[in-house]
Chains A and B, each alone.
Chain A
């Protein structure tokens, strides 16, 4: 079994969703989450507040540097993510397709490194 990070990207400047659309997406994501849990593929998931709410901290030469905003200066920022477990990439991609359908955005699939044992 491999764990995969499924991240949902939001593109800054794209038209915002109506309240109805947002509610529908929430419902679909809830249903998908239930499906993941029932299938034993669920590890963790969550939606994030907008990138503007992010703070970056960095320890440099013993000094703490704190800056406002997201680290990456791009229009595409993570809006939420799932951590799932799947037997192989094909299974993970099939779940990602459902995730994309549920949340209505592109989903990036990335494998976790194997946990170092004992």
Chain B
């Protein structure tokens, strides 16, 4: 029998609570009740596991314990004629715990959490809370918002789910594509929040990336035939592979071209590239898959100079045909610069409605710098610095600005 300490119990619950909450939401038809039940099971585990040891199937133990505790409580309450409790009990008694594979329950819960009728920031908070097993203070720290704000978002969202009767099910085939977009957007937003913000608690940020990848893996396991689900997972894995190379020892931002490629995580790259190849074979491209393919081309290059920019430009041409957004046009312009020269790329940037986006000005500045139009470059850097919110990015831009001013 292994020794089970408090930290281990917490780890197990964090890992398994999404599964347990998902099953119990189905069983009781109520999110709050499911959460409370899992919390009660946690209290029992803290008391029992240190002496009794870890159960053979912790997930099964949590679900059974939580379900029994909740049913006991509901029985007590319904004997006092509380109608809500009677309704939940009735629901629970008609829902066997193991009716379908547990994984279906998590998939249903993801779609509920990411329902388009909920506010985007509430979708993120609910997903992290119910499926990721994060506590409200952790979510607040990760997004640099007050705890009370997150708590309120969660309460409101759960109230709306209950009052408006937001269903707990995987959407029908006809709705799936649209609804899946919202789920993928939530997961990618969680990842980006952890990846691009270098401010705040670094450890929590890293957790956010790990959580997004975990959700991405879960979704890929549950919906292995959805190309975009695979594409998003590959995109996150390949971005994650460069994590160690993205910042220098003093915390400064290192752009892709200047990164020490020896620091890239080869295991993540291999996994991401394998998924990209699988997507290519399926040949049902979508925005996430194509962006993952671009990332895979970068991962292939032993040095920045060896990057196959021709292939990247082709991918961006394909991407812009299906998702003609200004930000993608901006990214495409970066590839144009490498293939057709900086002047052609500047032309491609002309007229993009991205005046308020710091990377638009940073990209323009970089192209002007390469064309040795230093005064104009310095001016563009200044605008980019003013718009950038991330300290590490701002430092990088300031460094570049000083360089062009010195020329």
Contact = CB atoms under 8 A, between A and B. Distances in A.
Give chain B's interface residue range (CB within 8 Å of chain A): 10 to 19
Contact of A89 (B83, B167, B175): B167
A91 B175 CA distance: 11
Interface in B354-370: none
Interface stretch (B50-58, B158-166, B180-188, B314-322): B158-166
Contacts of B165: 2, 87-89, 92, 111
Contacts of B117: 89, 93
A11 B212 CA distance: 42
Nearest to A118: B83
Contacts of A88: 165-167
Secondary structure dominating the interface of A: mixed
A110 B167 CA distance: 15
Interface string B311-354: 00000000000000000000000000000000000000000000
Interface string B117-146: 100000000000000000000000000000
A73 interface: no
A66 B326 CA distance: 54
B171 interface: yes
Interface in B247-275: none
Interface in A57-91: 87-90
A117 interface: yes
Nearest to A90: B167
A15 B175 CA distance: 34
A111 B164 contact: yes
Interface residues of A, number: 13
A2 B165 CA distance: 7
A110 B117 CA distance: 11
Contacts of A110: 164
A92 B115 CA distance: 14
Contacts of A109: 164
A113 B162 CA distance: 10
A101 B83 CA distance: 40
B164 A2 contact: yes
Contacts of B164: 2, 4, 89, 92, 109-111
Contacts of A2: 164-165
Contacts of B115: 89
User: Which one of A87, A89, A117 has the highest number of Cβ atoms from chain B below 10 Å of its Cβ?
Assistant: A89
Given A2-B164, A111-B163, A90 B171 contact: yes
A90 B161 CA distance: 11
B174 to A, nearest CB: 10
A117 B167 contact: no
Interface in A85-118: 87-90, 92-93, 109-111, 113, 117
Contacts of A90: 166-167, 171, 175
A96 B165 CA distance: 15
Nearest to B161: A89
| 7 nearest A-B residue pairs (beta carbon) | A88-B167, A2-B165, A111-B164, A89-B166, A88-B165, A89-B164, A111-B163
8 contacts: A2-B164, A4-B164, A87-B167, A88-B167, A90-B171, A90-B175, A92-B164, A92-B165
